[in-house]
Amino acid sequence: MLPLSAMKRLVLLLLALSLSIPAWARPNNRNEAIRVLEEFFGGRMGVNQMVNRLSFLGEAGYGADELIAAYKKADPKLQGLILEGLVGLGMFDADTDKIFLRALDSGDVAQMITACRGLAKAKSPTAPPRLIELLAARQPAVRREAAKALGELGAAKAGAPLIAAAKKEEDLEVRLAMVVAVGRAGDKKQVPALEAMLAGDSETTRLAAAQALCLLGAKSGVQYANKLLASDQKIERLQGVLLFEGATAKVAGPPLKVALADPDHRVRSTAARVLAQGGDKSKVEWLVLESAKAVGEDRLPYEDQLEKLRLTDEARQEILKKAGLK
């Protein structure tokens, strides 16, 4: 019988070897992945279940390759599901880029919307020119998703086209998406055009322009937000917090400091979540502890924001344990 120390070394060696074996070489994984895809292509398994199963099996890469190969031969409905699967699997490369870009020319609204989202999630370097063209698409939903994708991609060169498209856009929801996308795109040359929108007749457009300015770190946007944050109306204070949605904690931190002490739980919790998503991870801990201290329905706003952050139970318990609350 091996000594205990030798057995420990053997176990560790076997564990290391098992982790070094690629997913395709592990027993049954590939066969199970094939079965999952057969179920999906046969309409007996939904997109989310397929994505979850392949990811669990460590076969996301294989699954993505098979989906790409199947896309070209599939009918439009299945093509749409395949695109959703590719977005869900998150295995992005030049081949997925080609499929998403091809889908933009499909004429199928659902496919075009999913392709916009996929290109954004993939951080595609080749997508901006094609997405800029789609700002003039016939379908409002496509124009909206193209604008959002340009913002998520941080495509600074899209700033001017987004402003130009927003000025002509008649659909309010689409116009708001375009204006906010200017801020996410990061083109500070568009600050004057956004500031001009602050004097417009539409309150929602003014708020969108203010958010874009806050995202760009422009003083005019922060000043607009500060006025809302100082309001005696909680709905306006909440609007002020949401103007920093998507901003870095460095930009949002100073103005939202006052919101963290707001008497309204929804305002406070939303400010913490915005800061957490902006990079201030200490606000995750803050939310957990505030939720633990809150009583009855006062806990709900904190739990809502924690759900948006997708905090695991293990992470929550660790925070509570560290604070001596477990």
pLDDT of res. 11: 35
Residue type for 139, please?
A: Q
pLDDT of res. 147: 98
DSSP state letter for 239: H
Continuous H helices in the chain: 4-20, 29-41, 47-57, 60-71, 76-89, 94-104, 109-121, 128-133, 140-152, 159-168, 172-185, 191-197, 203-215, 219-229, 234-242, 249-256, 265-277, 282-293, 300-309, 313-322
CB 179 within 8 A of CB 209: yes
How confident is residue 72, by pLDDT bands cut at 50, 70 and 90?
A: confident
Max intra-chain CA distance, the chain: 84
Q: Is the pLDDT of residue 169 over 50?
A: yes
* 323: Cβ contacts below 8 Å, ≥ 6 apart: 285, 289, 292
CA-based angle 250:279:296, to the nearest 5? 110
CB 140 within 8 A of CB 173: yes
* 90: Cβ contacts below 8 Å, ≥ 6 apart: 60, 121
Least confident piece of the model among 25-29, 67-71, 120-124, 290-294:
25-29
Write down the pTM of the prediction.
0.84
- Residue written as token pair 């909206």: 144
pLDDT of res. 28: 72
* Whole-number Å distance between alpha carbons of 159 and 54: 38
pLDDT of res. 149: 98
How confident is residue 19, by pLDDT bands cut at 50, 70 and 90?
A: very low
The two tokens of residue 3 are 């000594």
pLDDT of res. 22: 53
